[in-house]
């Protein structure tokens, strides 16, 4: 897909080139596709030619939680639920 933006020419110069801007817009579009679950993280990594840690940094900067962070949160919630159940079961055991 090719997008065309109608922007004034005087926005760009040697310090802020059209090429750099286009690359940044492309990156943000790919990250947004990850956010809305139209692309997988490994596909974004390949498309952006990044190492995993670089993709994770950019995802976090864009407010997107990487898979490992989501799984860690789920695992933490599950462990808290298990611990809570064990504590409840322990306190409900009849004393004999």
Q: Please state the separation of Cα 72 from the chain's center in Å.
A: 14
Q: Please state the separation of Cα 12 from the chain's center in Å.
A: 29
Instruction: State yes or no: pLDDT of 96 exceeds 70.
Output: no
Q: How many CB atoms lie within 10 A of CB 55?
A: 22
What mean pLDDT is predicted for residues 14-33?
A: 95
pTM reported for the whole predicted model:
0.75
What mean pLDDT is predicted for residues 32-61?
A: 97
């Amino acid at each position: 897909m090719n997008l065309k933006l109608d922007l004034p020419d005087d926005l760009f110069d040697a310090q802020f080139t059209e090429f750099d801007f286009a690359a940044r817009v492309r990156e943000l579009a790919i990250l947004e596709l990850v956010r809305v679950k139209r692309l997988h993280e490994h596909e974004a990594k390949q498309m952006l030619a990044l190492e995993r840690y670089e993709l994770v940094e950019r995802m976090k900067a864009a407010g997107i939680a990487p898979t490992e962070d989501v799984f860690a949160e789920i695992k933490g919630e599950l462990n808290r639920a298990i611990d809570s159940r064990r504590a409840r079961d322990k306190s409900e055991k009849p004393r004999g």
